[in-house]
Amino acid sequence: MAVATIALKNLSRQKRRSFLLAGAIAFGILVVSLVNGLVGGILANTQDNYTTLLSGHIFAINVEFNDKKRMMMEIGDESPYVSAADELGKLYPIRYRQKRTSVFNNATLIFQNNSTWRQIDGVDWAADKFLADQLELVSGSMKDLRGDPGIVLGERTAKSLDVRLGESVIIQVETIYGQQNVVEAPVRAIYKEDQLSSGICYMDRDVVNSMLNMEKGHFNWYIIMMKNFRDIDPATKAFAGLLEKEGLHVMNRDKVAGKGFQALMGDLRRDKDKSARVVVSDLNDQMAGMKGIFDTIRIVSLFVLLMLLLVIMVGLNNTYRIIVWERAKEIGTMRALGMQRPVVSRIFLFEAVFLALAGTLAGILLSTGLLSILSIVSFDKATDFAIFLHKGHLTWSYDFGLLGVSIGLVILLTLFAAISPASKAGKVDPAVALRSVR
């Protein structure tokens, strides 16, 4: 305790020097903490936004090939999926599950002389409560749409078509058998559309089934939303295993992990094996490329911190050598009064640790303050970056594992820089030190 007290007093006596040394450390921590917090917030926002966009965390799609080797996605018997999901719910908490029919290859929407490509999701209006909470309506209503042939458009889509509420659009789609089908759909509601939801229109699932020549009650993907995001990966693996126990041919998870839907469908089309199988994917698979980029940024930021610290440590080492020379009389006096060599060395090491802790704390506090200010700024007009934002704002979240590594690295390198001068201080001969000082 006395050693720590002496070390603190020594630092307070040399305020300017201590401030500069701690400030240099704080700058390094500030840089890596800013990157850490921003990447963490962006990743969390992206996960939430992808969840909203895909309406779930775990996705099961049944893929079959007809006689002409055309790939079709259709689930007729839902009982294996329901049973597997029931068992999964006993292992991991499930928020909800739903069935959807989507026009994956996009549909052509036509109104008068205007046309646009859009994805259409067929939903069960009575059961899909998540969608009603997700969409912010500009006009119209989504009530009583079950069995209704109407369509819900985003405001950008409505603007590009120049169509208004109550008017009807022509929808041209390709059925699951490759035929062209054309239907008319009145606009029942228009929702506030952003970069995330751009391109998605919503209709009653049975109506979409009819458009695609799928039987009523069928669907083409089964969706599960977990209560806890951390459960996604183990729950996906468990769900795939449970579907296999139900007698379904499930595509090996090793061939699915880390691949988006487009890549998976491309693999299946090229695969010589044209047998029916179930593809079980999850949100992390769809985000694998983006998460890889974020992880790389974090690693690079840690490397930058290491480089900064190495430069700082060289200066710190030289500074402590000067300090040992300047305190020669003080060291000699302490040694003459009976202080042991290890104690003298520990005083200098404690000073180094206190500098590291002060710099680290200052860097984290500065980073937290800057990130908090940045999170207030609105980026509503930056629609190209909407996937990274939460309601038009950047948010931040520290990866405490990486932050702990950064703090540990700072303390270790600071000790490493001070250990040689501290050892030299402990070896100072009191008589020689006292004689050498004027």
What proportions of the chain, in percent to the nearest 5, are helix, strand and coil? Answer: 55, 20, 25
Domain that holds residue 110: 55-283
**Statement to judge: residues 236 and 322 lie in one domain:** no
Q: Which of 150, 209, 211, 213 is nearest to 185 (CA)?
A: 150
Question: Using an 8 Å Cβ cutoff, are 84 and 289 in contact?
Answer: no
CA distance 6 to 9: 5
Q: CB count, 10 Å around CB of 116?
A: 17
N-to-C CA span, the chain: 32
Lowest mean pLDDT among 164-178, 185-199, 394-408: 185-199
Does 236 have pLDDT greater than 70?
yes
The answer to whether residues 187 and 68 belong to one domain is yes
**Element at 139 (helix H, strand E):** strand 137-140
pLDDT band at 194 (very low <50, low <70, confident <90, very high): low
Phi, psi of 62 (to 5 degrees): -90, 125
One domain, residues 81 and 22: no
Contact 171, 211 (CB under 8 A): yes
Q: What is the pLDDT of residue 196?
A: 54
Domain co-membership, 84 together with 232: yes
Pick the most confident of 93-107, 109-123, 267-281, 335-349. 109-123
Per-residue tokens: 353: 């640790």
Q: Which residues pair with 62 in a beta bridge?
A: 278
- Mean pLDDT, range 280-286, rounded to an integer: 90
Instruction: Count H helices and E strands in the chain, helices first.
Output: 15, 11
pLDDT tens figures, 65-111: 887 778 888 999 999 999 999 999 999 999 989 999 998 767 999 99
> What's phi and psi for 172, nearest 5 deg?
-110, 120
Q: 332 and 427 in one domain?
A: yes
Rounded-to-integer distance, Cα 371 and Cα 385, Å:
18
Residues near 169 by Cβ (< 8 Å), separated by ≥ 6? 109, 110, 111, 151, 153, 161, 163, 184, 185, 187
The total of structural domains in the chain comes to 2
127: its two tokens:
């059961």
Q: 328, 365, 345: which is closest to 415 by C-alpha?
A: 345
Mark which of 251, 283, 315 sits at the end of a domain. 283
The pair of three-digit structure tokens given for residue 72, joined into one six-digit string: 């079709």
Residues 316 and 250 reside in one and the same domain: no
Tell which of 234, 266, 283 closes a domain. Answer: 283
369 and 234 in a single domain? The answer is no
Q: Residues 34, 113: one domain?
A: no
Q: Are residues 73 and 93 in the same domain?
A: yes
The closest alpha carbon to 314, from 420, 425, 424, belongs to 420
* End position of a domain, from candidates 264, 283, 302: 283
Q: What is the pLDDT of residue 198?
A: 58
Place of tokens 């990866």: 399
Claim to verify: residue 79 and residue 218 sit in the same structural domain: yes
Residue 341 pLDDT grade (very low, low, confident, very high; cuts 50, 70, 90): low
pLDDT tens-digit readout, 374-411: 999 887 655 567 778 877 788 999 988 888 888 888 88
126 or 342, higher pLDDT? 126
Q: Is 173 exposed, middle or buried (0-12, 13-18, 19+ CB in 10 A)?
A: buried
Kindly state whether residues 277 and 316 are assigned to the same domain. Answer: no
The CA–CA distances, whole Å, from 297 to 197, 300, 301, 418 equal 27, 5, 6, 30
pLDDT score of 338 more than 70: no
Indicate whether 294 and 278 sit together in one domain: no
